[in-house]
Amino acid sequence: MSELVTVDIGGTNARFAIASQAEDGTITMDEPVTLQTEDHASFQTAWEDYRARKGGSLPDAVAMAIAGPVGGEVIRFTNNPWIIRPALVEPKLGVSRFTIVNDFEAVAHAVARAGDDEFLHLTGPEGPLGATGRLSVLGPGTGLGVAHLYREADGTYRVSATEGGHIDFAPLDPIEDAILARLRKRHNRVSTERVVAGPAIVDIYATLAALEGRAVKEQDDVTIWTAGMDGSDSLAAAAIDRFCLSLGSVAGDIALAQGGFSGVVIAGGVGYRLRDHLPNSGFAERFRAKGRFETLMAGIPVKLITHPQPGLFGAAAAFFQSHGD
């Protein structure tokens, strides 16, 4: 049995776990430890904190899923100030082998390795995702991650990371026009991540309030998400409904752009939090609303991955695939 440390580093949290792969290829993980990125000056100090929590020793291999591009001599995160220098990973962490992948590249690996019972059906044909062909994987968290997965007929697969969360946002109705106008006051170019990611709920909420002529105090995204999900604030609930509409539109755009006609998978921390809300929202209608391609879109199975830690699981899967363990 091979063992390693698997790490999923986002804009807000860094999650750590010990992952093992059995001879039959099954990957298991122990209980993850979540550290706040803002509580640590660097990944090195977060690693040392985790090592201390695990009794002072760790396996000599690490798989890292990172929220941002992973090429180059210095890796910078999209939504936190840490940096990682791949050339220093082995000496600094005391490991002999490592793999670094984009966070949604890791999620796509998780999609490839997860069982059918780890997906929630959202729209499109019932049944499992396509066994061959291209699948699009996306999900909102602190940012918006996008990747794609290609399954071969022999059971092997390939994953590609993308920065699809940074394509231009395309409004479809007057409310989204108003959201875009608000965001344009701060950003010359408004990407989909500005509308379909966890922090975006603040601008959606403020836009809806302005359209209704309400004077509301400023609130952070966590407060709005909580009030909308528990129903204590009807405007926050409306903002979540609007978020689901925009997510459906973006998911459909990504599927068209990538050719993800074998299936689309929603992931991400916010995506998982919305698992009970998405099936009853306007997500499905917006996903299909692609004009002349509506029939094509209706034939794509769309699922939400319910594995609680797809980034950690997928980073480990990427390591085992690349190192042949």
**Tokens, residue 123:** 């729209």
Alpha-carbon distance of 49 to 39, in angstroms, equals 11
Cβ neighbors of 251 (< 8 A, separation 6 or more) are 136, 138, 264, 266, 283, 287, 302
Assess contact for 302 and 266: CB atoms under 8 A. Answer: yes
Question: Which letter, b or e, does each residue of 310-319 get, where b requires 16 or more Cβ atoms within 10 Å of its Cβ?
Answer: bbbbbbbbbb
Does 9 carry a binding-site annotation? yes
Q: Give me the residue label for tokens 């199975």.
A: 301
Q: What are the φ and ψ backbone dihedral angles of 82, each rounded to 5 degrees?
A: -65, 155
Assess contact for 306 and 82: CB atoms under 8 A. Answer: no
Q: What are the φ and ψ backbone dihedral angles of 150, each rounded to 5 degrees?
A: -120, 120
Does 10 carry a binding-site annotation? yes
Cβ neighbors of 323 (< 8 A, separation 6 or more) are 61, 97, 99
Angle at 314 (CA atoms; ends 310, 317), nearest 5 degrees: 150
| Other beta carbons within 10 Å of 293 | 13
**Tokens, residue 257:** 């752009």
| 133 strand-pairing partners | 151
Does 7 carry a binding-site annotation? yes
Binding residues for ATP: 7-12
Binding residues: 7-12
